[in-house]
Amino acid sequence: MTDEHLLAGLEQLMTSAGHGPLSLTVDRELTAGANRRTIRLIITPAGLDGGPYAAIAQLVERDDAREGTTRSVLDEAAVVSAARANGVPAVEVLAAGRLPAATPPPIEVLVTREVAGETIPRRVLRSVGAVEDGGRKLTRSCGRALARLHAIDPAAVSLAQEPLPVFTVARYLDHLTERLDDLPDPHPTFRFAINRLAHDLPSDPPKRSLIHGDFRNGNLIVDAADLAAALDWELVHIGDPMEDLAWICLRTWRFGSDSREVGGFGRLDDLRRAYADSGGRWRQDAFEWWTMARTAWWGIGLAAQAVAFVEGRSNSLVHAASGRRVVELEYDLLGLLAARVG
Amino acid sequence: MIDRPDAHRLLLAVAEALTDEVVPVLSASASASAPVQVADPEAAAARYTARIAANLCRIVAREAELWPQAEAATVADLRGLLGRDGGSLEELSRALDDELRTGAGDLDPGSVHRVLSAAVGRRLAIARPSYGDDLGGGHRS
């Protein structure tokens, strides 16, 4: 698709979402993946409707033949808007839809207002460490944001394309086993962990909630040492709230700042208290179970990245290095399991 | 004997050159203009790659030094756990994985945990020696 087509399509989309008349220009490309691009736009409203503002457009090639492998951005927009309406700091969706005059494959676009702040994990850690309050404010905001997200009734979110996947404990164990069985080399630590997790199931959640699925340092926009917005909602699903709380506390996402359990910036106690104060119900047994399950999942994921490199499906040095990071997750997992084996 | 410097020394020299000479130059251009938003993203990406490359060189250097003994120790542990007289590390790992998957061997979880933890400790000494210390050493059983 040429840039003129792209701009015309985006302008039409923004106008039908009620933001027109306007003119827009591409400022620069932020990321370019196999079937996903992110670009920064400058939008100038016509007339006297305020000055120009920046927006982020995510463009996703939607291969209808592989329906279900990529979530529709329309559904992502619906979830983000529902979260925002319930007080979760999330980006403001300006427009979402298919580009009108696109030639195949169809391209879906999600346009959001740019939010100022830092997302790169180590810079986030530096920026919150610099102020007197450290990471406490950010930690409490994360607890509050997750409590508000988990309070949303998933049935009240109307989705255009397909229902959200439901993760139960049993289904998650099957998912882990399938991912492990797909790896060509044996990984007995992960097999052992799956056995122990199946042996030691957590309590049921009081109700099924909307789960962000990737709420962690790196996917949070942090401004003035506080949470400005949660990003990357493409893994959203329905499940146990403790999954989200466990994920943000995984050692992997502390980026070397290991003594601060919450994303490397905060204390677990502050997160727990903020979550409970905002109406969330903290279940320690499920928190521990999901911490182990998600550690295993990420370890298996790193091993899968290395397989992609070894088999020539990726030539990324990061993926090559992932193969030698698997052992870190195994170490964490065995540490977590230590108390549960006689 | 191969000409000196040997593989171990060469890898460490490459790692040092990347860390001390390449990364600082890329860091300078990545943050040349003060606001983060307008920094040179290509320089930042290249700096990231150089850091990973240096780290991988150090891993391979440690592997050359430590792996023969580590592998032998893990093979001995696994033979003991599974009650076998022979088998390579790969064969034994696959056998352990199979027994855990099917539940056939009726292995004691505490013994499995001990053998896996020792094996992980040896691999971690190669991949990231500081990782076990970072939590104050009280993490492993």
For all residues of chain A together, what is the average pLDDT?
90
Question: How much is the ipTM here?
Answer: 0.88
Task: Give A118's contacts in chain B (Cβ within 8 Å).
Answer: 36
Share of chain A above pLDDT 90, in %: 68
Q: How far is B59 from chain A (nearest CA, A)?
A: 8
At A311, is the secondary structure helix, strand, or coil? Answer: coil
CA atoms of A37 and A58, how far apart (whole Å): 6
* Interchain proximity A331–B120, CB inside 8 Å: yes
Considering only CB atoms, A191 lies closest to which of B100, B131, B134, namely B100
pLDDT of residue B138: 40
A-chain residues within 8 Å CB-CB of B97?
186-188, 191
Is residue A338 very low, low, confident or very high in pLDDT (cuts 50, 70, 90)?
very high
Average pLDDT over residues A292-308: 97
The Cα B80–Cα B140 span in angstroms is: 21
| A vs B: CB pairs below 8 A | 93
pLDDT exceeds 80 at position A341: yes
Residue B44 CB neighbour total at 10 angstroms: 17
Alpha helices in B1-88 (DSSP H): 7-17, 23-30, 41-82
A226 vs A152, A219, A246, A336, B56, CA distance in Å? 23, 13, 20, 30, 35
* Cβ neighbours for A78, distance < 8 A, ≥ 6 positions apart: A157, A158, A159, A160
Positive/negative CA dihedral, B114, B115, B120, B122: positive
Question: What is the Cα–Cα distance from A276 to B29, expressed in whole angstroms?
Answer: 46
Using one digit for the tens of pLDDT, what is the confidence trace for A42-83?
999 887 667 899 999 988 887 654 555 556 788 889 999 999
pLDDT digits (tens, 9 = 90+) for A78-135: 999 999 999 999 999 999 988 865 566 788 899 999 999 999 999 999 999 855 568 9
Could you say which of A195, A258, A325 has the minimum Cβ distance to residue B100?
A: A195
A285 pLDDT above the threshold of 60: yes
Rounded to the nearest 10 degrees, what angle do helices B89-102 and B41-82 cross at?
Answer: 80
What pLDDT, on the 0 to 100 scale, is given for residue B40? 72
Distance, in Å, from the CA atom of A256 to the CA atom of A154, rounded to the nearest integer, reads 35
Put simply, the answer to whether B139 touches A195 (Cβ < 8 Å) is no
Q: Which of residues 310-329 of A touch B (CB under 8 A)?
A: 317-318, 320-321, 324-325, 327-328
- At B74, which amino acid appears? T
Instruction: Please tell me the predicted confidence (pLDDT) of residue A92.
Output: 93
A326-337 helix and A188-199 helix, angle to the nearest 10 degrees: 30
Instruction: Report, as ranges of residue numbers, the positions in chain B whose pLDDT lies below 70.
Output: 29-39, 134-141
Considering only alpha carbons, which residue of chain A is nearest residue B59? A324
Q: What is the pLDDT of residue A67?
A: 52
Chain B positions touching A335 (Cβ under 8 A) are 135, 139-141
* pLDDT at residue A102 in the model: 56
CA-CA-CA-CA dihedral for A117, A144, A210, A79, to nearest 10: -40
